[in-house]
Structure 1
Amino acid sequence: MRHGSPIRALGLLVPTALLALVGCTDGGAPEGPPSPDDAPDYSSAALWLPFDEAVAADDGSEEFPAGDDAPYSGVVVQANGGGVEQVEGADGRGRALQFPGVCADDTGCPMALVEVAPDPALAPGSEPFSWGASVRLSPSETTDGSNVVQQGRFASEGGQWKLQVDGDEGLPSCRVRGDAGALVVTSTVSVADDVWHRVVCHRDDEGVSVAVDGEVTRESGPSGALASSEPIRVGSPGVNDGDDQFSGAIDDVFLELGSSARVE
């Protein structure tokens, strides 16, 4: 993976919600995620960015308020002409954000992310927690690493939790690095088919799991406590050359803390 240097910008905070499960035809064969109206309700979680409403911040930057009227927001950070665009979300889920397209250049690529300021109340510590988003990614939008949401960099102080989509196959992976080590789990289910998918990462005492539309893959082992002072970033870990820009659409980013954090 490529890892650029951190970038900081304005941001705030939020609680959570999500998307699509697996549906069936009359014959019982899966036909992809059904209406997200049936998705779990994450509105009581610690952080939720639904991306339904864009407002102008005091400095003129674009920001997206939290759901449920929470007093937090995600602020858009951009570089080289990049930006985010509100697009239609999955059925019943309002709006989503489209991020800059794939760029093969080594320098100067359009970049954009949404940044939520750090807050100790959002630190998972050593407790169970879940995080994730709904994503739509076409086969032409895959890269070596496309970062969906994360806090902390690969080796930054305080640890890291991250959801990204890996390689041409478009396989979601979850990484947790706490004070006891790092764990990575990768799903065998591709999300690179230009259809909305709900992806949930979960860390508990037993290990880390990734669920794609409810199909769970698990990796056992310890990861330890996390206490990062980095912002939570959606769509990319930064806007520097070499940062892993996500080039599809993202919706309903969430972080859920404590024993109620769900696995899928």
Structure 2
Amino acid sequence: MRTSTRTPTTIPALVALALLAVGCGASGTTTGTRASVPQAPAPAVATAGAELWLSFDDVQAGFDGSPEYGDAQGGLITGRVVTANGGEVRDVAGGTGRGGAVAFPGTCTDATGCPRALVEVPTDPSLDPGDAPFSWGASVRLPPDETSAGSNVVQSGRYGSDGDQWKLQVDGEEGLPSCILRAEGEIVKIRSSTSVSDGAWHRVVCRRDADVLSIEVDGDVHRKPVVTGSVHTGLPVRIGSPGVGDHDDQFHGEIDDVVIDVDPRP
């Protein structure tokens, strides 16, 4: 694991970017319309020493022409856009003072062929926590008419697959965020009672310490005593959806400031 020598990082105040037009793509039928809401100051984001911080402030073309987002701390890890069925990851304004963010396809009523999109960070040893304490989180904005049974925000590893997994998702129409951790075959989950599906920006962070799994929403922390083994996914980190298939749990809102922080081993 990387031992950081960085000094604490703050995110500079930037002029909000103009929102791009909302579109679900030709393959799907959308339900609901994202209403414009006043942008309150976004929650604080702790980034100092993190293994990865995707601020989505800058986008560039990758080797195959797909959009890519770089580590805001200047690291070499990048996030590449992956899409299907006319879906797209759109650059939008973040919360006040937070620069840019990314928006994912809206809800779709079709049984198949709905627009899909995600940002994929390639497998990297620095993002595999092992038995070290670690945290993963993001800022999210989810209108109440864009909820679904399951909306995956950021994760490594997949439900139903072999190996370990860590995940942050938003559950049900109530829009309640939850953290899920699968280590050495054991699955633990903690859910917040604070909804994030009100169209405002919220900061959600999951943490695994030696014997506690916690979820924090805008500073409100819920903890659950757990005993977990070493976590090794060996898989990419995916933001916005676990995949681009018909039954993958697409997140339908906006995401900003994805931070993954693995504490160095003693």
Q: TM-score of the superposition, structure 2-length normalised? A: 0.83
State the alpha-carbon separation in 1 of the partners of residues 40 and 88 from structure 2: 29
SS of structure 1 residue aligned to 2:86: coil
Instruction: Quote the residue 1:81 is aligned against.
Output: 86
Equivalent positions of 1:216-227 (< 5 A) are: 216-227=221-232
Q: 1:39 to 1:150 in 2, by over 3 A?
A: same
Residue identity in the other structure for 2:79: G
- 1:108 pairs with one of 113, 120, 123: 113
State the alpha-carbon separation in 1 of the partners of residues 9 and 255 from structure 2: 12
State the alpha-carbon separation in 2 of the partners of residues 130 and 249 from structure 1: 20
State the alpha-carbon separation in 2 of the partners of residues 125 and 210 from structure 1: 20
Instruction: Quote the residue 2:17 is aligned against.
Output: none
Does residue 53 (structure 1) correspond to residue 58 (structure 2)? The answer is yes
Deviates more, 1:76-85 or 1:223-232: 223-232
Deviations 1:207-253 (A, max 9, x none): 21111001111222112111111110000000001000000000000
On the 8 A contact 1:17/1:254 being kept in 2, the answer is no
Does residue 159 (structure 1) correspond to residue 164 (structure 2)? The answer is yes
Does residue 229 (structure 1) correspond to residue 229 (structure 2)? The answer is no
Q: 1:86 to 1:133 in 2, by over 3 A?
A: same
Q: 1:94 to 1:43 in 2, by over 3 A?
A: farther
- 2:41 pairs with one of 35, 39, 56: 35
What is the CA distance between 1:18 and its match in structure 2?
A: 9.3
Number of residue pairs matched by the alignment = 233
Equivalent positions of 1:166-245 (< 5 A) are: 166-179=171-184, 181-245=186-250
What is the CA distance between 1:43 and its match in structure 2?
A: 4.0
Identity in percent: 51
Instruction: Quote the residue 1:136 is aligned against.
Output: 141
What is the CA distance between 1:155 and its match in structure 2?
A: 3.5
On the 8 A contact 1:133/1:251 being kept in 2, the answer is yes
What is the CA distance between 1:105 and its match in structure 2?
A: 1.6
The RMSD of aligned alpha carbons is: 2.3
Q: TM-score of the superposition, structure 1-length normalised? A: 0.83
Does residue 123 (structure 1) correspond to residue 128 (structure 2)? The answer is yes
Deviates more, 1:247-256 or 1:156-165: 156-165
Q: 1:54 to 1:133 in 2, by over 3 A?
A: same
On the 8 A contact 2:163/2:185 being kept in 1, the answer is no
Instruction: Quote the residue 2:258 is aligned against.
Output: 253
On the 8 A contact 1:18/1:133 being kept in 2, the answer is no
SS of structure 1 residue aligned to 2:73: helix
Where structure 2 has 5 or more consecutive residues not aligned to the other structure, the ranges are: 1-5, 12-38
- 1:68 pairs with one of 66, 73, 76: 73
What is the CA distance between 1:156 and its match in structure 2?
A: 2.8
Where structure 1 has 5 or more consecutive residues not aligned to the other structure, the ranges are: 1-14, 20-32
On the 8 A contact 2:40/2:200 being kept in 1, the answer is no
State the alpha-carbon separation in 1 of the partners of residues 47 and 164 from structure 2: 24
SS of structure 2 residue aligned to 1:121: helix
State the alpha-carbon separation in 2 of the partners of residues 83 and 167 from structure 1: 23
